[in-house]
Structure 1
Amino acid sequence: MTPMPPEELGQKLRRDRSRALAQAVVTAFTERLKEEAAKQGGFLSQRHIDELNVEFQTKSEQLTAVFEQALLDATREQEELKWHAIKRPAFDRLMVKRFEHLLLHRGANGIVHGTISRRMLPGFFLALHMMMGPQERERYHWRCDAAVERIMKGRVPVDWNLIDKDEAVHDIVLDAQYSIAMHFEDIARRTDWFINITNSHLAPPAHKDAGDANWELTPPALQGLLQSLLADLGEAVSDDAAWHRLAQRHPDADRNKLALILDHLR
C-alpha cells in the first residue's frame, strides 16, 4: 500500500481530530438539553436556557483541558510529519528507521510511549558525522541515494519499507552499523562523548510546555537507542552466512571482538 503523502496525512489527522472534538461537544450539549427538557415537560423556557448556559460555562475548564491536549497532540504530529516531509538524505532516514519506535509518541490509548525525543536528532547526526568522518558518511549518502533512485525509479512518496528490504541497502546499513559499533570499543568513554554531543545540540522544543521541553539523552536511553540502531549487525554476527558476507567487505573484521562490543551495549 502506497504511504499517504505527509501533507495529505496532516490534513486527515486535523480533520479527524476536529470532527471528534466537535462531535463530543455537540453530543454533550444535546444530551444535557434533552435531559433538562424531559424534566420540564418537553420544552425549555428562556430561564432554563440561561441556567443551562451557566452550567455549560462551569464546564469550560474541562473542555479547555481537552482542547489543550488536542492542540498538543496536533503540534507533536506536525513535528513528526515535518520530519517525514523534509527532504533528508536516504541514509539518515534509514538510520533513524532503526530506532523510530523509541521516539516519544502518543498511542491510540492516549498514553505517551517511547524514551527518546526527536530533539536529539541534530546531535545524533553530528555524532555519526564525527565518528565516520565526512568522506565515509558522504559515501553512505551517495550509495543510499543511488539505491533509492534504482528502486523507486522516481516514484513518490518513497516507500521506506520497500527500500529497507533491498539486499544492497541492507549491506549499506550493515557497513554503517559496523563502523559505528567499532567506535564503542571503549564503551564508557564513547557513551559519555555521545551523550555530551547529543545534549549540547538538542533542537529547541516545539513550545515551552511541550512534554519533551526538558528532555535530555541519558545512558539508559542511549543504550536502548544503540541496541535498536545496531540490531541488524547483531543478527549478522550471530549468523554464519550473514557474517561471511559482511567479512568479505571488511576483511579485518574480528567477529569475537564485535560480538563482545555488542554484548556490552545490551
Structure 2
Amino acid sequence: MTITHPSPSSPSSSGAKACEAVANTMIGHFVTRLEVEAHRAGGTLTVAAIRALAERFMADEAARFAPVLRRSWDACTKMREARQWESARHNPFDRILIKPFAHLFPPRQGDDGVSGVLSRRMLPGFHMAVDKMIGPALFEQCQRKSQAILDRHRADDGTDWAQVHADRETLALCFDVLVVVAHSFANFDRRRDWFVTLVNSHLGPAEAGAIDAHWQLTEHGFAEMMRALFADLKALLAGDAAALRKRYGEHTVEALEGFFRRLDA
C-alpha cells in the first residue's frame, strides 16, 4: 500500500482537507499493519489481537505523527480564523459597530483607516467579545435589524454605506448595544483584561510582511477604541442625559457615567 504524507505546501494540507489527509494516512498505515500481522497469523486475526495491535500502533506512531497532526491543526485554525475575518467584514451589524473606531486602523485603499493604533486582525476577537457581552439573542436581533437597514439603502450600484451609518435606526441600534456593553464593565479592570485577552487570543491571520504581523491589543489601544466607540453616546450623555434616562433608566445612566470615569482615568 502506498501512503502519501501531507505536506504544508500541498493543497490537501489546508482546511478540512488537511484533517482528511491525516485521517487517511493514519488509517492507511494501520491497515497495512493489519495486513502484515494477519499474514503472519495465517490470514486471520481475533478481536483481541486487533485491539492489542491498535494499542501498540497508537503508542508506536504517536511521536511519528505529531508533526503531521500539528500541521493539520494549524491549517484548520488558519481556515477558521480566515472565516471569522471574512464574517467580520461582511456581516452588516459587525461593520456598523466598528465604524466609530475604523479610523484607528492602518490606512487602506477604500477604507477609513488612518492612525494604525489598532489592527483589523482584532475584528474576530472583538465581535466574539461583543457577542459574549450582549448575548446571542440580542446579537442575532442586531444582525436582523442591521440587514433591514442595509436593504433600505441598497441600490443597483451597491450599498450606500454613508446613508446606512447616518440612519437614525443605526444610531439607536448601536446605543442599545453599547449600554449593555457598558453594564458589563461594572468590574472595569477585570472586564478590560478579559476583553484584551480574548481579542489577542483570536487575532485574524497576518499577511506576510504586514506591519501588524506582531500586533497585540494593549490597554492603550483598548482605551482608544472604547473612547471612539462610545463617543456619540458620551456626547448624548453630556448634552441630553434626560433623553438617555428616559429611554434606558437611571441605572443605565449611572453605569455609563461610571464606565466613562474609568475609561478616562
Q: Distance in 1 between matches of 2:197 and 2:87?
A: 28
Counterpart check, 1:176 vs 2:174? no
Which structure has more relative contact order (CA 8 Å, sep 6+)? It is 1
Q: Is the CA contact (8 Å cut-off) linking 2:200 and 2:216 kept in structure 1?
A: yes
Shift of 1:130: 0.7
Counterparts in 2 of 1:253 and 1:106: CA distance versus 1, 3 Å: same
Counterparts in 2 of 1:87 and 1:261: CA distance versus 1, 3 Å: closer
For normalisation by structure 1, the TM-score amounts to 0.60
Q: What CA deviation, in whole Å up to 9, does each residue of 1:131-154 have, x standing for no partner?
A: 11110111111111112222x155
1:89 maps to which residue? 91
1:203 maps to which residue? 204
Shift of 1:224: 0.3
1:212 maps to which residue? 212
Q: What CA deviation, in whole Å up to 9, does each residue of 1:232-265 have, x standing for no partner?
A: 110121122xx44444442364323311211211
Counterparts in 2 of 1:179 and 1:257: CA distance versus 1, 3 Å: closer
Paired residues in the alignment total 176
Q: Distance in 2 between matches of 1:99 and 1:220?
A: 14
The gaps in structure 1 that reach 5 residues or longer are 1-82
Correspondences of 1:132-147 after superposition (within 5 Å): 132-147=134-149
Q: What CA deviation, in whole Å up to 9, does each residue of 1:213-232 have, x standing for no partner?
A: 11111100011001111111
Counterparts in 2 of 1:161 and 1:136: CA distance versus 1, 3 Å: same
Counterparts in 2 of 1:171 and 1:86: CA distance versus 1, 3 Å: closer
Q: Which moved more, 1:140-149 or 1:246-255?
A: 246-255
The gaps in structure 2 that reach 5 residues or longer are 1-84
Q: What CA deviation, in whole Å up to 9, does each residue of 1:99-143 have, x standing for no partner?
A: 000002279xxxx83211111111111101111111011111111
Counterparts in 2 of 1:87 and 1:256: CA distance versus 1, 3 Å: closer
Matched to 2:213, the amino acid is A
SS at match of 1:174: helix
Superposed CA RMSD in Å reads 2.4
Q: Distance in 2 between matches of 1:155 and 1:253?
A: 45
Q: Is the CA contact (8 Å cut-off) linking 2:179 and 2:252 kept in structure 1?
A: no
2:5 maps to which residue? none
Counterparts in 2 of 1:155 and 1:172: CA distance versus 1, 3 Å: farther
For normalisation by structure 2, the TM-score amounts to 0.61
2:236 maps to which residue? 236
Matched to 2:138, the amino acid is E
Counterparts in 2 of 1:248 and 1:84: CA distance versus 1, 3 Å: farther
1:259 maps to which residue? 257
Counterparts in 2 of 1:245 and 1:154: CA distance versus 1, 3 Å: farther
Q: Is the CA contact (8 Å cut-off) linking 1:90 and 1:145 kept in structure 2?
A: yes
1:164 maps to which residue? 165
Q: Is the CA contact (8 Å cut-off) linking 1:171 and 1:246 kept in structure 2?
A: no
Which portions of structure 1, spanning 4 or more consecutive aligned residues, are displaced by more than 6 angstroms?
83-87
Matched to 1:227, the amino acid is R
Counterpart check, 1:250 vs 2:248? yes
Q: Is the CA contact (8 Å cut-off) linking 1:140 and 1:172 kept in structure 2?
A: yes
Shift of 1:156: 4.0
Q: Distance in 2 between matches of 1:84 and 1:175?
A: 25
Q: Distance in 2 between matches of 1:236 and 1:155?
A: 35
